[in-house]
């Protein structure tokens, strides 16, 4: 009996140790690839000033990655005849994703230093943070140790990524499914303070809101709507024109996006939805009335929380050699 008790104690200890080792941690690569995070940071700081929109693009990629099968780099996978299904890249929300070549460039640098060590999922998370910081935005901790997924499915991406046409209920359900609350919803939507969008993501608000051509979303400020129709999206069929998500401040990580929401000037229906509930609207007002540092701090906490969603660690998944393809 004593030997059995000892064996059980050892098994429990092994489970505990295995569980602990399977968690994300700061400086996960300190021993296996000590220069990895500096290599990534240096490349981002060198390249982002040349293309400031990179920060918004990679931030969006990180979000879309985490909302489908967790933060596992599955958004990066290309379709091949061997995987037999269309990947997340081909999902409607991902057709306008940018930044894949940027991630590939970072991966090549890291692979040259430490082959087969640093995951593509971690690279997305680190680049998103470093790119935002490089544009003057907030810093947040990025614990690492994510492993790359081997499955990427177009239908899952279409189902799980909140669309810009989402109402409040849909947004709340999508975020809750990933363990994110209403404050996280508001804070992560605050990423719309930087970047741009195509007219096709919101043109129905201007021209076809009720399904009848010529109807406009009454929740959208009429002056702002008129400006969009006369100067930007002159037709419901415009799929190419680029519009700033935070007009006049789209390159600056600030509180302007939230101020516009309170003026009914959020670009997307999902933006406007944030002010349709007392709880989220009050939180937006609190952020607007507070110091910028409060938004930065809270945004960082929500980003770190999102970065832990359904991660693969330990022996799950793999470390891809090339981010667009699973290993042979």
Six-digit token string for 247: 């007009």
Tell me how crowded residue 184 is: count the other CB atoms within 10 A of its CB.
20
Whole-angstrom Cα distance, residue 246 to residue 267? Answer: 8
Q: What angle do CA 287, 96, 90 make, to 5 degrees?
A: 125
Active site (catalytic) residues: 64
Q: What is the pTM of this model?
A: 0.91
Q: How far is CA 106 from CA 39, 44, 101, 112, in A?
A: 8, 9, 9, 10
pLDDT tens for the chain, 328 residues: list them: 444 444 444 444 443 333 333 589 999 999 999 999 999 999 999 999 999 899 999 999 999 999 999 999 999 999 876 656 799 999 999 999 999 999 999 999 999 999 999 999 999 999 999 999 999 999 999 999 999 999 999 999 999 999 999 999 999 999 999 999 999 999 999 999 999 999 999 999 999 999 999 999 999 999 999 999 999 999 999 999 999 999 999 999 999 999 999 999 999 999 999 999 999 999 999 999 999 999 999 999 999 999 999 999 999 999 999 999 999 8
Six-digit token string for 290: 């507070």
CA 151 to centroid of chain Cα atoms = 19
């Amino acid at each position: 009996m004593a030997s059995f008790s000892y064996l059980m104690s050892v098994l429990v200890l092994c489970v505990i140790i295995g569980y602990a080792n399977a968690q994300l941690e700061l400086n996960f690569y300190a021993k296996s690839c000590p220069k990895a995070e500096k290599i990534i940071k240096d490349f981002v700081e060198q390249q982002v000033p040349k293309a400031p929109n990179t920060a918004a693009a990679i931030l969006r990629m990180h979000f879309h990655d985490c909302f489908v099968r967790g933060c596992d780099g599955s958004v990066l996978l290309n379709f091949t005849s061997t995987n037999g299904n269309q990947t997340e890249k081909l999902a409607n929300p991902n057709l306008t994703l940018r930044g894949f070549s940027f991630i590939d460039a970072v991966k090549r640098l890291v692979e040259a230093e430490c082959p087969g060590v640093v995951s593509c999922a971690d690279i997305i998370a680190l680049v998103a943070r470093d790119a935002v910081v490089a544009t003057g935005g907030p810093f947040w901790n990025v614990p690492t140790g994510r492993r790359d997924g081997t499955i990427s499915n177009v239908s899952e991406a279409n189902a799980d990524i909140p669309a810009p046409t989402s109402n409040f209920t849909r947004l709340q359900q999508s975020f809750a499914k990933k363990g994110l609350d209403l404050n996280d919803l508001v804070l992560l939507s605050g990423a719309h303070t930087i970047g741009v969008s195509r007219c096709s993501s919101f043109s129905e608000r201007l021209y076809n809101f009720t399904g009848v051509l010529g109807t406009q979303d009454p929740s959208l400020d009429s002056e702002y709507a008129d400006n969009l129709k006369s100067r930007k999206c002159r037709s419901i069929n415009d799929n190419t024109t680029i519009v700033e998500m935070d007009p006049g401040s789209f390159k600056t990580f600030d509180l302007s996006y939230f101020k516009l929401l309170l003026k009914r000037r959020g670009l997307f229906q999902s933006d406007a939805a944030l002010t349709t509930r007392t709880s989220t609207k009050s939180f937006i007002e609190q952020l607007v009335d507070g110091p910028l540092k409060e938004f930065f701090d809270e945004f960082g906490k929500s980003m770190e929380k999102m970065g832990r969603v359904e991660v693969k660690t330990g022996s799950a998944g793999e470390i891809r050699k090339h981010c667009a393809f699973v290993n042979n």
